[in-house]
């Protein structure tokens, strides 16, 4: 199976690899997937308490090229967005942007889950209720 140019680009030059200090109250961490499924994503956001804007985003991913590209793209999109804007990112936008084939759609789902999980971690740290996902992916 051939990968799209965009997947290859993100895989070769991943954006925002790294680790944020998860002990900080303005950092939210999402860890999704499982080693036995062959995909684990960790996505972190650093939020400006004053403005509610995501000022930094980092990821680390264990997975195939599409999983790495999906999380790399997600961090790119997250930076500069408000929490609400971030929550509106849909996995299908990732699928379209990276031209993922059907067998790789789960990679985009995982990236969306990682975003939500990171946001909920941030909210929990700041005494807010978690946001339930309205959609189910199957």
Q: How far apart are CA 40 and CA 97, in angstroms?
A: 21
Sequence-ordered list of residues with C-beta below 8 angstroms from that of 97, at least 6 positions apart, any chain: 6, 73
Residue 5: Cβ within 10 Å count: 10
Classify burial at 73, counting beta carbons within 10 Å of its beta carbon; exposed 0-12, middle 13-18, buried 19 or more: buried
Residue 112 phi/psi, 5-degree rounding, is -65, -45
Does 98 help bind other proteins (rule: CB under 8 A)? no
Does 53 help bind other proteins (rule: CB under 8 A)? no
Residue 10 phi/psi, 5-degree rounding, is -65, -35
Q: Which of 12, 21, 25, 37 is catalytic?
A: 37
Residue 60 CA, distance from chain mean position: 10
Which of 38, 52, 80, 130 binds other proteins (CB under 8 A)? It is 38
Which of 103, 124, 128, 131 binds other proteins (CB under 8 A)? It is 103
Closest separation in Å from C-beta 52 to other proteins? 26
Does 89 help bind other proteins (rule: CB under 8 A)? no
- 37 as an active site residue: the answer is yes
Q: Which is nearer to other proteins, 53 or 123 (CB)?
A: 123
Q: Which of 107, 111, 114, 115 is catalytic?
A: 107
- 64 as an active site residue: the answer is no
**Which residues would be at the binding site for other proteins (CB under 8 A)?**
1, 3, 8, 11, 14, 17, 19, 31-42, 59-65, 67-68, 103-104, 106, 109-110, 113, 117
């Amino acid at each position: 199976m051939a990968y799209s140019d965009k997947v290859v680009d993100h895989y070769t030059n991943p954006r925002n690899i790294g680790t944020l200090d998860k002990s900080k109250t303005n950092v939210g961490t999402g860890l999704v997937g499982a080693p036995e499924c062959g995909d684990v994503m960790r996505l972190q956001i650093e939020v400006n308490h004053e403005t509610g804007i995501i000022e930094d985003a980092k990821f680390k991913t264990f997975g195939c090229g599409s999983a790495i590209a999906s999380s790399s793209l997600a961090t790119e999109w997250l930076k500069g967005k408000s929490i609400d804007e971030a929550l509106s990112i849909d996995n299908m936008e990732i699928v379209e942007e990276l031209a993922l084939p059907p067998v790789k759609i789960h990679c985009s789902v995982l990236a969306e889950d990682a975003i939500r999980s990171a946001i909920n971690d941030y909210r929990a740290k700041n005494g807010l209720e978690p946001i339930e996902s309205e959609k189910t992916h199957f």
